[in-house]
Protein backbone atom coordinates (compact mmCIF):
# COMPACT_ATOMS: atom_id res chain seq x y z
CA UNK A 1 0.00 0.00 0.00
CA UNK A 2 1.26 3.41 -0.95
CA UNK A 3 1.89 5.66 2.00
CA UNK A 4 1.06 9.33 1.83
CA UNK A 5 2.77 11.47 4.38
CA UNK A 6 1.90 15.15 4.58
CA UNK A 7 1.12 16.17 1.08
CA UNK A 8 -0.21 19.65 0.47
CA UNK A 9 -3.45 19.55 -1.44
CA UNK A 10 -6.06 21.99 -2.69
CA UNK A 11 -9.65 21.14 -3.67
CA UNK A 12 -9.76 18.93 -6.73
CA UNK A 13 -6.32 17.42 -6.32
CA UNK A 14 -6.10 13.70 -6.92
CA UNK A 15 -4.40 12.27 -3.84
CA UNK A 16 -4.10 8.68 -4.96
CA UNK A 17 -5.59 6.15 -7.34
CA UNK A 18 -6.77 2.83 -6.04
CA UNK A 19 -9.19 1.16 -3.70
CA UNK A 20 -8.79 3.27 -0.57
CA UNK A 21 -11.35 4.36 1.94
CA UNK A 22 -12.18 8.08 1.99
CA UNK A 23 -12.16 9.31 5.60
CA UNK A 24 -12.25 13.06 6.00
CA UNK A 25 -12.49 15.91 3.51
CA UNK A 26 -11.97 13.62 0.55
CA UNK A 27 -14.32 12.11 -2.02
CA UNK A 28 -14.00 9.03 -4.14
CA UNK A 29 -14.62 9.32 -7.83
CA UNK A 30 -13.91 6.51 -10.29
CA UNK A 31 -11.27 4.92 -8.10
CA UNK A 32 -9.58 8.28 -7.49
CA UNK A 33 -9.38 9.87 -4.06
CA UNK A 34 -9.88 13.62 -4.46
CA UNK A 35 -9.28 16.30 -1.83
CA UNK A 36 -12.11 18.72 -1.09
CA UNK A 37 -10.27 21.16 1.16
CA UNK A 38 -6.98 22.99 1.35
CA UNK A 39 -4.88 21.00 3.74
CA UNK A 40 -2.48 18.20 4.41
CA UNK A 41 -3.27 14.78 2.97
CA UNK A 42 -2.39 11.68 4.88
CA UNK A 43 -2.99 7.98 4.61
CA UNK A 44 -3.39 5.51 7.42
CA UNK A 45 -4.55 1.95 7.82
CA UNK A 46 -8.17 3.08 7.75
CA UNK A 47 -7.99 5.22 4.67
CA UNK A 48 -7.14 8.63 3.28
CA UNK A 49 -7.91 11.97 4.84
CA UNK A 50 -7.12 15.66 4.55
CA UNK A 51 -6.48 17.78 7.61
CA UNK A 52 -8.02 21.13 6.67
CA UNK A 53 -6.22 24.43 7.14
CA UNK A 54 -9.23 26.71 6.77
CA UNK A 55 -12.93 26.66 7.37
CA UNK A 56 -15.69 27.60 9.75
CA UNK A 57 -16.70 25.39 12.65
CA UNK A 58 -19.17 22.60 11.87
CA UNK A 59 -20.61 21.03 15.05
CA UNK A 60 -19.82 17.41 15.86
CA UNK A 61 -21.30 15.21 18.54
CA UNK A 62 -19.26 15.15 21.77
CA UNK A 63 -17.36 18.32 20.98
CA UNK A 64 -16.78 20.54 24.00
CA UNK A 65 -17.64 24.05 22.92
CA UNK A 66 -17.83 27.46 24.51
CA UNK A 67 -21.03 29.26 23.65
CA UNK A 68 -22.83 32.47 24.44
CA UNK A 69 -26.40 32.49 25.66
CA UNK A 70 -28.35 34.55 23.14
CA UNK A 71 -31.93 34.13 24.20
CA UNK A 72 -34.27 31.78 25.97
CA UNK A 73 -37.68 30.38 25.23
CA UNK A 74 -39.82 28.89 27.97
CA UNK A 75 -38.15 25.50 27.55
CA UNK A 76 -34.61 26.08 26.35
CA UNK A 77 -31.80 28.55 25.90
CA UNK A 78 -30.49 29.49 22.50
CA UNK A 79 -26.70 29.38 22.44
CA UNK A 80 -24.40 30.91 19.86
CA UNK A 81 -21.60 28.39 19.35
CA UNK A 82 -19.83 30.18 16.50
CA UNK A 83 -21.19 27.77 13.89
CA UNK A 84 -23.72 27.92 11.08
CA UNK A 85 -26.39 26.59 13.44
CA UNK A 86 -27.39 28.00 16.80
CA UNK A 87 -27.46 25.39 19.55
CA UNK A 88 -30.15 24.67 22.13
CA UNK A 89 -29.65 23.99 25.79
CA UNK A 90 -32.79 22.46 27.27
CA UNK A 91 -33.99 23.91 30.59
CA UNK A 92 -34.38 20.42 32.04
CA UNK A 93 -30.65 19.99 31.65
CA UNK A 94 -30.05 22.75 34.17
CA UNK A 95 -33.10 22.55 36.47
CA UNK A 96 -33.60 18.79 36.45
CA UNK A 97 -36.59 16.72 35.46
CA UNK A 98 -39.08 18.61 37.61
CA UNK A 99 -38.48 21.85 35.74
CA UNK A 100 -41.57 23.96 35.41
CA UNK A 101 -41.60 26.97 33.13
CA UNK A 102 -43.99 28.74 35.48
CA UNK A 103 -41.99 28.23 38.65
CA UNK A 104 -38.35 28.41 37.60
CA UNK A 105 -36.78 31.62 36.36
CA UNK A 106 -34.44 30.65 33.57
CA UNK A 107 -32.82 34.08 33.35
CA UNK A 108 -31.62 33.72 36.93
CA UNK A 109 -29.50 30.72 36.07
CA UNK A 110 -28.25 31.76 32.64
CA UNK A 111 -28.92 35.20 31.28
CA UNK A 112 -28.34 36.35 27.71
CA UNK A 113 -24.66 37.20 27.36
CA UNK A 114 -23.41 34.50 29.72
CA UNK A 115 -20.71 32.19 28.46
CA UNK A 116 -21.00 28.44 29.03
CA UNK A 117 -18.80 25.45 28.42
CA UNK A 118 -21.01 22.71 27.02
CA UNK A 119 -20.90 19.41 25.25
CA UNK A 120 -22.83 18.72 22.05
CA UNK A 121 -25.05 15.71 22.73
CA UNK A 122 -27.00 15.47 19.51
CA UNK A 123 -26.57 16.91 16.08
CA UNK A 124 -27.59 15.23 12.85
CA UNK A 125 -27.87 18.00 10.25
CA UNK A 126 -31.66 17.82 10.18
CA UNK A 127 -31.94 19.52 13.54
CA UNK A 128 -29.97 22.13 15.42
CA UNK A 129 -27.33 20.89 17.86
CA UNK A 130 -28.39 20.16 21.43
CA UNK A 131 -26.11 20.90 24.36
CA UNK A 132 -25.61 19.68 27.91
CA UNK A 133 -23.80 21.31 30.81
CA UNK A 134 -24.51 18.58 33.38
CA UNK A 135 -21.06 17.09 33.43
CA UNK A 136 -17.76 17.58 35.11
CA UNK A 137 -16.00 20.76 33.90
CA UNK A 138 -19.07 22.10 32.11
CA UNK A 139 -21.26 25.05 32.98
CA UNK A 140 -21.19 28.79 33.26
CA UNK A 141 -17.89 30.61 32.94
CA UNK A 142 -17.72 33.24 35.65
CA UNK A 143 -14.79 35.36 34.53
CA UNK A 144 -12.03 35.65 31.97
CA UNK A 145 -10.97 37.23 28.73
CA UNK A 146 -12.79 36.19 25.57
CA UNK A 147 -10.90 35.33 22.40
CA UNK A 148 -11.94 33.83 19.07
CA UNK A 149 -9.64 31.89 16.77
CA UNK A 150 -10.25 29.73 13.71
CA UNK A 151 -11.51 26.30 14.77
CA UNK A 152 -8.99 24.64 12.44
CA UNK A 153 -6.23 26.03 14.65
CA UNK A 154 -7.54 24.49 17.87
CA UNK A 155 -5.64 21.16 17.59
CA UNK A 156 -2.46 23.05 16.93
CA UNK A 157 -3.02 25.36 19.87
CA UNK A 158 -3.46 22.38 22.18
CA UNK A 159 -0.44 20.63 20.72
CA UNK A 160 0.69 17.08 21.20
CA UNK A 161 -0.89 15.86 24.43
CA UNK A 162 -1.54 19.45 25.44
CA UNK A 163 2.10 20.48 25.13
CA UNK A 164 1.53 23.82 23.43
CA UNK A 165 -1.23 25.04 25.69
CA UNK A 166 0.64 23.85 28.75
CA UNK A 167 3.69 25.84 27.70
CA UNK A 168 1.62 28.99 27.26
CA UNK A 169 -0.31 28.53 30.50
CA UNK A 170 2.77 27.94 32.58
CA UNK A 171 4.83 30.74 31.11
CA UNK A 172 2.08 33.33 31.41
CA UNK A 173 0.51 32.01 34.62
CA UNK A 174 -2.89 31.90 33.04
CA UNK A 175 -5.55 29.30 32.53
CA UNK A 176 -7.01 28.88 29.07
CA UNK A 177 -10.33 27.22 28.42
CA UNK A 178 -10.55 25.99 24.85
CA UNK A 179 -13.72 25.17 22.95
CA UNK A 180 -13.50 23.05 19.82
CA UNK A 181 -15.42 25.84 18.10
CA UNK A 182 -12.44 28.17 18.38
CA UNK A 183 -13.64 30.21 21.33
CA UNK A 184 -11.19 30.66 24.18
CA UNK A 185 -11.52 32.11 27.64
CA UNK A 186 -8.34 33.17 29.41
CA UNK A 187 -8.14 33.76 33.11
CA UNK A 188 -5.03 34.84 34.93
CA UNK A 189 -3.63 36.50 37.98
CA UNK A 190 -2.29 39.58 36.24
CA UNK A 191 -3.07 41.48 33.06
CA UNK A 192 0.47 41.17 31.72
CA UNK A 193 0.18 37.40 31.74
CA UNK A 194 -3.14 37.52 29.93
CA UNK A 195 -1.79 39.95 27.34
CA UNK A 196 1.19 37.68 26.76
CA UNK A 197 -1.03 34.63 26.40
CA UNK A 198 -3.10 36.59 23.86
CA UNK A 199 0.04 37.27 21.86
CA UNK A 200 1.15 33.66 21.98
CA UNK A 201 -2.26 32.39 20.87
CA UNK A 202 -2.33 34.87 18.00
CA UNK A 203 1.10 33.65 16.95
CA UNK A 204 -0.11 30.06 16.95
CA UNK A 205 -3.16 31.04 14.92
CA UNK A 206 -1.22 32.96 12.30
CA UNK A 207 1.62 30.50 11.91
CA UNK A 208 -0.18 27.22 12.56
CA UNK A 209 1.16 25.63 9.40
CA UNK A 210 4.77 26.65 9.92
CA UNK A 211 7.52 24.56 11.36
CA UNK A 212 9.02 24.68 14.80
CA UNK A 213 6.09 26.53 16.24
CA UNK A 214 6.62 25.37 19.81
CA UNK A 215 10.09 26.93 19.76
CA UNK A 216 8.73 30.18 18.34
CA UNK A 217 6.16 30.35 21.10
CA UNK A 218 8.80 29.60 23.69
CA UNK A 219 10.96 32.39 22.28
CA UNK A 220 8.04 34.80 22.48
CA UNK A 221 7.34 33.82 26.06
CA UNK A 222 11.03 33.75 27.00
CA UNK A 223 10.99 30.26 28.44
CA UNK A 224 13.79 27.78 28.53
CA UNK A 225 13.20 24.20 29.60
CA UNK A 226 14.52 24.94 33.08
CA UNK A 227 12.13 27.79 33.81
CA UNK A 228 9.21 25.75 32.58
CA UNK A 229 9.91 23.26 35.30
CA UNK A 230 9.96 25.79 38.14
CA UNK A 231 6.90 27.59 36.83
CA UNK A 232 4.94 24.39 36.88
CA UNK A 233 5.19 24.42 40.62
CA UNK A 234 4.23 28.07 40.86
CA UNK A 235 1.18 27.70 38.72
CA UNK A 236 -0.18 24.81 40.74
CA UNK A 237 -0.05 27.05 43.80
CA UNK A 238 -1.78 29.81 41.91
CA UNK A 239 -4.47 27.51 40.77
CA UNK A 240 -5.71 27.11 44.28
CA UNK A 241 -6.19 30.86 44.48
CA UNK A 242 -8.52 30.73 41.54
CA UNK A 243 -10.63 28.07 43.13
CA UNK A 244 -11.14 30.23 46.16
CA UNK A 245 -12.04 33.18 43.99
CA UNK A 246 -15.03 31.49 42.51
CA UNK A 247 -18.30 33.09 43.36
CA UNK A 248 -20.29 31.21 46.02
CA UNK A 249 -23.58 32.42 44.51
CA UNK A 250 -23.04 30.28 41.50
CA UNK A 251 -23.84 27.07 43.42
CA UNK A 252 -23.80 24.35 40.79
CA UNK A 253 -21.47 26.37 38.64
CA UNK A 254 -18.80 26.44 41.29
CA UNK A 255 -18.07 22.91 40.40
CA UNK A 256 -17.09 23.94 36.94
CA UNK A 257 -14.58 26.43 38.17
CA UNK A 258 -12.89 24.01 40.52
CA UNK A 259 -12.71 21.33 37.98
CA UNK A 260 -11.38 23.50 35.27
CA UNK A 261 -8.52 24.54 37.47
CA UNK A 262 -7.69 20.97 38.31
CA UNK A 263 -7.78 19.93 34.76
CA UNK A 264 -5.59 22.64 33.57
CA UNK A 265 -2.83 21.92 36.04
CA UNK A 266 -2.79 18.22 35.55
CA UNK A 267 -3.85 17.53 32.00
CA UNK A 268 -5.25 20.32 29.89
CA UNK A 269 -6.08 17.93 27.14
CA UNK A 270 -9.13 16.79 29.05
CA UNK A 271 -10.77 20.04 28.16
CA UNK A 272 -11.01 18.83 24.64
CA UNK A 273 -13.27 15.94 23.71
CA UNK A 274 -12.30 12.50 22.63
CA UNK B 1 -17.42 46.23 -40.72
CA UNK B 2 -14.40 46.24 -38.43
CA UNK B 3 -12.84 49.64 -38.76
CA UNK B 4 -10.51 49.37 -35.83
CA UNK B 5 -7.41 47.30 -36.41
CA UNK B 6 -7.61 44.68 -33.68
CA UNK B 7 -4.78 42.54 -35.03
CA UNK B 8 -1.85 44.24 -36.75
CA UNK B 9 0.32 42.84 -39.53
CA UNK B 10 2.62 41.13 -36.99
CA UNK B 11 -0.31 39.26 -35.47
CA UNK B 12 -0.21 41.41 -32.34
CA UNK B 13 -3.38 42.62 -30.67
CA UNK B 14 -4.17 46.10 -29.36
CA UNK B 15 -2.40 45.41 -26.07
CA UNK B 16 0.55 43.64 -27.70
CA UNK B 17 -0.54 40.09 -27.07
CA UNK B 18 -0.56 37.33 -29.65
CA UNK B 19 -3.72 35.31 -30.26
CA UNK B 20 -2.94 32.68 -27.62
CA UNK B 21 -1.84 34.96 -24.80
CA UNK B 22 -3.66 35.62 -21.56
CA UNK B 23 -3.47 38.98 -19.92
CA UNK B 24 -1.35 39.18 -16.77
CA UNK B 25 -3.17 37.60 -13.83
CA UNK B 26 -2.42 38.19 -10.20
CA UNK B 27 -4.44 36.62 -7.38
CA UNK B 28 -4.11 37.64 -3.74
CA UNK B 29 -5.86 35.59 -1.06
CA UNK B 30 -7.17 36.70 2.30
CA UNK B 31 -7.54 40.39 1.50
CA UNK B 32 -10.62 40.94 3.68
CA UNK B 33 -10.33 40.36 7.40
CA UNK B 34 -14.00 39.99 8.25
CA UNK B 35 -14.90 37.54 5.50
CA UNK B 36 -14.52 33.79 5.99
CA UNK B 37 -12.69 33.64 2.69
CA UNK B 38 -11.60 36.33 0.27
CA UNK B 39 -9.52 36.92 -2.81
CA UNK B 40 -8.69 39.76 -5.14
CA UNK B 41 -7.78 39.25 -8.75
CA UNK B 42 -6.10 41.47 -11.28
CA UNK B 43 -6.95 40.11 -14.69
CA UNK B 44 -5.27 42.52 -17.07
CA UNK B 45 -6.91 45.82 -16.21
CA UNK B 46 -9.77 44.13 -14.36
CA UNK B 47 -9.61 44.54 -10.61
CA UNK B 48 -12.09 42.42 -8.69
CA UNK B 49 -12.53 41.66 -5.03
CA UNK B 50 -14.46 38.63 -3.79
CA UNK B 51 -15.73 37.92 -0.29
CA UNK B 52 -17.17 34.58 0.82
CA UNK B 53 -19.22 34.22 3.98
CA UNK B 54 -20.33 30.90 5.30
CA UNK B 55 -21.56 28.30 5.58
CA UNK B 56 -23.74 30.40 7.85
CA UNK B 57 -27.32 30.66 9.02
CA UNK B 58 -29.82 31.54 6.33
CA UNK B 59 -31.71 34.79 6.65
CA UNK B 60 -34.57 34.98 5.79
CA UNK B 61 -35.10 31.52 7.23
CA UNK B 62 -37.66 30.40 4.65
CA UNK B 63 -34.93 30.38 2.01
CA UNK B 64 -33.13 27.48 3.70
CA UNK B 65 -33.28 24.10 2.02
CA UNK B 66 -33.61 20.98 4.15
CA UNK B 67 -31.22 18.83 2.14
CA UNK B 68 -28.55 21.21 0.96
CA UNK B 69 -26.94 24.58 1.25
CA UNK B 70 -28.10 27.63 -0.65
CA UNK B 71 -25.46 29.44 -2.65
CA UNK B 72 -26.08 33.13 -3.10
CA UNK B 73 -24.00 35.18 -5.49
CA UNK B 74 -23.87 38.89 -6.03
CA UNK B 75 -21.94 40.37 -8.90
CA UNK B 76 -21.71 44.11 -8.66
CA UNK B 77 -19.84 46.78 -10.55
CA UNK B 78 -18.71 49.80 -8.60
CA UNK B 79 -19.86 53.15 -9.99
CA UNK B 80 -16.22 54.06 -10.67
CA UNK B 81 -15.34 50.81 -12.43
CA UNK B 82 -16.13 52.06 -15.96
CA UNK B 83 -15.26 55.23 -17.93
CA UNK B 84 -18.72 56.73 -17.53
CA UNK B 85 -20.25 56.41 -14.10
CA UNK B 86 -22.29 53.29 -13.67
CA UNK B 87 -25.48 53.49 -11.69
CA UNK B 88 -24.85 51.45 -8.54
CA UNK B 89 -28.31 49.87 -8.66
CA UNK B 90 -28.16 46.28 -9.92
CA UNK B 91 -28.70 46.36 -13.67
CA UNK B 92 -30.23 43.68 -15.87
CA UNK B 93 -26.72 42.61 -16.82
CA UNK B 94 -25.54 42.29 -13.23
CA UNK B 95 -28.53 40.22 -12.21
CA UNK B 96 -27.82 37.89 -15.11
CA UNK B 97 -24.13 37.59 -14.32
CA UNK B 98 -24.93 36.89 -10.68
CA UNK B 99 -27.10 34.01 -11.82
CA UNK B 100 -24.66 32.49 -14.29
CA UNK B 101 -21.87 32.88 -11.78
CA UNK B 102 -23.87 30.97 -9.17
CA UNK B 103 -24.57 28.25 -11.69
CA UNK B 104 -20.91 28.10 -12.67
CA UNK B 105 -19.79 27.66 -9.06
CA UNK B 106 -22.57 25.36 -7.82
CA UNK B 107 -21.35 22.13 -9.49
CA UNK B 108 -17.97 22.44 -7.77
CA UNK B 109 -19.29 23.02 -4.27
CA UNK B 110 -20.50 20.09 -2.17
CA UNK B 111 -23.69 21.85 -1.15
CA UNK B 112 -25.19 18.69 0.35
CA UNK B 113 -22.52 18.84 3.09
CA UNK B 114 -24.12 21.90 4.64
CA UNK B 115 -27.89 21.43 4.78
CA UNK B 116 -30.00 24.35 6.03
CA UNK B 117 -27.07 26.75 5.68
CA UNK B 118 -26.10 29.41 3.18
CA UNK B 119 -22.90 30.41 1.46
CA UNK B 120 -22.74 34.00 0.28
CA UNK B 121 -20.39 35.11 -2.45
CA UNK B 122 -19.94 38.82 -3.10
CA UNK B 123 -18.08 39.80 -6.25
CA UNK B 124 -17.26 43.47 -6.47
CA UNK B 125 -15.75 44.80 -9.68
CA UNK B 126 -13.52 47.75 -8.86
CA UNK B 127 -12.21 48.25 -12.37
CA UNK B 128 -13.68 46.62 -15.47
CA UNK B 129 -11.92 45.77 -18.70
CA UNK B 130 -13.87 43.00 -20.40
CA UNK B 131 -14.05 39.42 -19.20
CA UNK B 132 -14.94 40.44 -15.69
CA UNK B 133 -17.37 37.54 -15.21
CA UNK B 134 -14.58 35.06 -15.92
CA UNK B 135 -12.19 36.84 -13.63
CA UNK B 136 -14.92 37.00 -11.00
CA UNK B 137 -15.59 33.27 -11.19
CA UNK B 138 -11.88 32.44 -10.96
CA UNK B 139 -11.47 34.67 -7.92
CA UNK B 140 -14.69 33.42 -6.31
CA UNK B 141 -13.59 29.82 -6.49
CA UNK B 142 -10.27 30.68 -4.85
CA UNK B 143 -12.12 32.63 -2.14
CA UNK B 144 -14.42 29.63 -1.56
CA UNK B 145 -11.41 27.37 -1.13
CA UNK B 146 -9.96 29.94 1.27
CA UNK B 147 -13.21 29.88 3.25
CA UNK B 148 -12.79 26.13 3.68
CA UNK B 149 -15.93 25.13 1.83
CA UNK B 150 -15.88 21.51 0.63
CA UNK B 151 -15.31 21.55 -3.12
CA UNK B 152 -14.94 18.82 -5.70
CA UNK B 153 -12.70 21.02 -7.80
CA UNK B 154 -11.67 24.61 -8.32
CA UNK B 155 -13.49 26.53 -11.02
CA UNK B 156 -11.35 28.23 -13.63
CA UNK B 157 -12.75 30.61 -16.18
CA UNK B 158 -11.53 32.28 -19.31
CA UNK B 159 -13.05 33.75 -22.45
CA UNK B 160 -12.18 33.30 -26.09
CA UNK B 161 -13.65 35.07 -29.09
CA UNK B 162 -13.44 36.12 -32.69
CA UNK B 163 -11.84 39.36 -33.80
CA UNK B 164 -11.09 40.22 -37.43
CA UNK B 165 -12.21 36.67 -38.31
CA UNK B 166 -9.55 35.16 -36.13
CA UNK B 167 -10.17 33.13 -32.96
CA UNK B 168 -8.23 34.58 -30.05
CA UNK B 169 -7.93 33.90 -26.34
CA UNK B 170 -9.02 36.21 -23.52
CA UNK B 171 -10.98 39.05 -25.07
CA UNK B 172 -10.44 42.49 -23.53
CA UNK B 173 -12.82 45.44 -23.49
CA UNK B 174 -12.03 46.87 -26.95
CA UNK B 175 -12.03 43.45 -28.56
CA UNK B 176 -15.34 42.71 -26.89
CA UNK B 177 -16.91 45.88 -28.28
CA UNK B 178 -15.33 45.88 -31.75
CA UNK B 179 -14.92 42.15 -32.25
CA UNK B 180 -17.52 39.79 -33.63
CA UNK B 181 -17.83 37.06 -30.95
CA UNK B 182 -17.17 36.61 -27.25
CA UNK B 183 -17.39 33.25 -25.49
CA UNK B 184 -16.86 33.06 -21.72
CA UNK B 185 -16.25 29.55 -20.41
CA UNK B 186 -15.96 28.24 -16.84
CA UNK B 187 -14.35 24.87 -16.44
CA UNK B 188 -13.56 22.31 -13.75
CA UNK B 189 -10.00 21.42 -14.72
CA UNK B 190 -9.67 18.14 -12.83
CA UNK B 191 -13.15 16.82 -13.52
CA UNK B 192 -13.02 18.16 -17.10
CA UNK B 193 -16.50 19.62 -16.96
CA UNK B 194 -17.82 22.87 -18.38
CA UNK B 195 -19.98 24.82 -15.93
CA UNK B 196 -20.50 28.00 -17.93
CA UNK B 197 -20.66 28.52 -21.65
CA UNK B 198 -22.07 31.68 -23.12
CA UNK B 199 -21.69 33.01 -26.61
CA UNK B 200 -22.33 36.50 -27.85
CA UNK B 201 -21.84 36.67 -31.63
CA UNK B 202 -21.94 34.29 -34.55
CA UNK B 203 -19.52 31.41 -35.13
CA UNK B 204 -19.71 28.52 -37.54
CA UNK B 205 -19.15 25.00 -36.32
CA UNK B 206 -15.41 24.81 -36.85
CA UNK B 207 -14.93 28.27 -35.35
CA UNK B 208 -17.04 27.28 -32.38
CA UNK B 209 -14.95 24.19 -31.73
CA UNK B 210 -11.72 26.12 -32.10
CA UNK B 211 -13.01 28.83 -29.80
CA UNK B 212 -14.13 26.38 -27.12
CA UNK B 213 -10.86 24.50 -27.27
CA UNK B 214 -8.95 27.72 -26.90
CA UNK B 215 -11.08 28.86 -23.97
CA UNK B 216 -10.57 25.54 -22.18
CA UNK B 217 -6.86 25.82 -22.76
CA UNK B 218 -7.04 29.31 -21.24
CA UNK B 219 -8.95 27.93 -18.24
CA UNK B 220 -6.16 25.45 -17.61
CA UNK B 221 -3.63 28.28 -17.62
CA UNK B 222 -5.81 30.24 -15.18
CA UNK B 223 -6.03 27.12 -12.99
CA UNK B 224 -2.26 26.99 -12.64
CA UNK B 225 -2.27 30.60 -11.41
CA UNK B 226 -5.11 29.90 -8.95
CA UNK B 227 -3.30 26.85 -7.69
CA UNK B 228 -0.05 28.70 -7.23
CA UNK B 229 -1.79 31.48 -5.31
CA UNK B 230 -3.43 29.00 -2.92
CA UNK B 231 -0.29 26.94 -2.34
CA UNK B 232 1.74 30.08 -1.72
CA UNK B 233 -0.77 31.43 0.77
CA UNK B 234 -1.15 28.23 2.76
CA UNK B 235 2.15 26.42 2.38
CA UNK B 236 4.53 29.33 1.85
CA UNK B 237 6.93 28.01 4.43
CA UNK B 238 7.57 24.33 4.33
CA UNK B 239 6.61 22.09 7.22
CA UNK B 240 9.30 19.73 8.37
CA UNK B 241 8.31 16.22 9.38
CA UNK B 242 6.92 15.57 12.81
CA UNK B 243 5.18 18.92 13.24
CA UNK B 244 2.10 18.03 11.31
CA UNK B 245 1.84 14.75 13.20
CA UNK B 246 0.79 16.81 16.19
CA UNK B 247 -2.00 18.20 14.09
CA UNK B 248 -3.15 14.80 13.08
CA UNK B 249 -3.11 13.30 16.53
CA UNK B 250 -5.22 16.05 17.93
CA UNK B 251 -7.72 15.81 15.16
CA UNK B 252 -8.27 12.18 16.00
CA UNK B 253 -9.03 12.81 19.66
CATH of the domain at A29: 2.40.50.100
Q: Are residues A187 and A173 in the same domain?
A: yes
Q: Are residues A14 and A69 in the same domain?
A: no
Closest by CA to B113, choosing from A48, A21, A40, A58, is A58
Mean pLDDT lowest among A224-228, B118-122, B130-134, B154-158: A224-228
Q: How far is A159 from chain B (nearest CA, A)?
A: 6
Tell me: pLDDT of B10 over 90.
Answer: no
- Higher per-residue confidence, B68 vs A250: B68
Q: Are residues A24 and A114 in the same domain?
A: no
Q: Are residues A135 and A165 in the same domain?
A: no
CATH number of domain containing A242 = 3.30.1370.10
Verify whether the Cβ–Cβ distance B55 to A160 is below 8 Å. no
> For the whole model, what pTM was predicted?
0.83
Between positions 68 and 107 of B, the ones with CB within 8 A of A are none
Other C-beta atoms lying within 10 Å of the C-beta of residue A265: 19
* Parallel/antiparallel/unpaired status of strands B46-57 and B37-43: antiparallel
Band of residue B152 on the pLDDT scale cut at 50, 70, 90: very high
Band of residue B238 on the pLDDT scale cut at 50, 70, 90: low
Other C-beta atoms lying within 10 Å of the C-beta of residue B235: 18
Which helix (DSSP H) or strand (DSSP E) does residue A86 occupy? none
Q: Are residues A14 and A108 in the same domain?
A: no
The answer to whether the bond into B60 is cis (omega within 30° of 0) is: yes
Rounded Cα distance, B172 and A79, in Å: 50
Verify whether the Cβ–Cβ distance A6 to B230 is below 8 Å. no
Percent of chain B predicted with pLDDT > 70: 92
Q: Are residues A48 and A80 in the same domain?
A: no
Q: How many domains does chain B divide into?
A: 1
Verify whether the Cβ–Cβ distance A40 to B148 is below 8 Å. no
* Parallel/antiparallel/unpaired status of strands A64-72 and A48-52: unpaired
Rounded Cα distance, B146 and B119, in Å: 13
Q: How many domains does chain A divide into?
A: 3
Q: Could you tell me if residue A123 is inside a domain? A: yes
Q: Where is the domain boundary, A91, A107, A141?
A: A141
Q: Are residues A102 and A13 in the same domain?
A: no
Q: Could you tell me if residue B214 is inside a domain? A: yes
Percent of chain B predicted with pLDDT > 90: 83
pLDDT in the model for residue A219: 83
Range of the domain at B86: 25-232
- Its ipTM equals 0.83
Band of residue A177 on the pLDDT scale cut at 50, 70, 90: very high
Q: Tell me the mean pLDDT in the region A15-42.
A: 91
CATH number of domain containing A114 = 2.40.50.140
Q: Tell me the mean pLDDT in the region B210-238.
A: 90
CA distance readout (Å), B152 to A33, A43, A234, B33, B161: 11, 19, 51, 26, 29
Q: Tell me the mean pLDDT in the region A84-89.
A: 91
- Nearest CB to A272 within list B66, B145, B253: B253
Which residue in chain B is spatially nearest to A43 when comparing CA positions?
A: B248
Rounded Cα distance, A17 and A29, in Å: 10
Rounded Cα distance, A261 and B212, in Å: 65
CATH number of domain containing B200 = 3.30.230.70
Q: Tell me the mean pLDDT in the region A172-186.
A: 92
Between positions 153 and 212 of A, the ones with CB within 8 A of B are 154-156, 158-160, 163, 209-212
- Higher per-residue confidence, A208 vs B167: B167
Selected for mutation to probe chain B from A11, A124, A180, A181 (highest B CB count within 10 Å) is A11
Q: Could you tell me if residue A20 is inside a domain? A: yes
Verify whether the Cβ–Cβ distance B230 to A38 is below 8 Å. yes
* pLDDT (tens digit per residue) in B15-67: 999 999 999 999 999 999 999 999 999 999 999 999 999 899 999 999 999 99
Q: Could you tell me if residue B15 is inside a domain? A: no
Q: Where is the domain boundary, A86, A107, A141?
A: A141
pLDDT in the model for residue A2: 60
Order across the sheet with B25-29: list the strands.
Answer: B25-29, B37-43, B46-57, B117-127, B70-77
Is A179 within 8 Å of A131 (Cβ atoms)? no
Rounded Cα distance, A79 and A88, in Å: 6
- One DSSP character per residue, B141-160 reads HHHHHHTT--BSS--EEEEE
Q: Are residues A82 and A26 in the same domain?
A: no
Q: Are residues A129 and A156 in the same domain?
A: no
Q: Tell me the mean pLDDT in the region B184-208.
A: 95
Range of the domain at A94: 64-141
Q: Tell me the mean pLDDT in the region A239-254.
A: 36
Amino acid sequence: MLEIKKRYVIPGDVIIEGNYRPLMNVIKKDNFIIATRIGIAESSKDGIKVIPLSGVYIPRINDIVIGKIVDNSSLSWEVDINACFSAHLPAQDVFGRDFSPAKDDMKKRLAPGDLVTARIITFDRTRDPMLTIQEKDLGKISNGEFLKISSTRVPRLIGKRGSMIQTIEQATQTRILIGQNGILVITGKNDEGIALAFKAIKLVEEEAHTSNLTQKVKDLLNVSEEITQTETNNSSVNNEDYVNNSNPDNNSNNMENDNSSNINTESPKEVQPH
Amino acid sequence: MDQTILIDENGKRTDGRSSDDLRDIKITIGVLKNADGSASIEFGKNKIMVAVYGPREVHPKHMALPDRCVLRCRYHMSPFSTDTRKNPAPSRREVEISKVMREALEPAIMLEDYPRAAIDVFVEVLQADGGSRCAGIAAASVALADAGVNMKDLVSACAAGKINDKIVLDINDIEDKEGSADMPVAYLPNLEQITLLQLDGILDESQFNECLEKAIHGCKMVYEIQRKALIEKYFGNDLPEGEEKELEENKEN
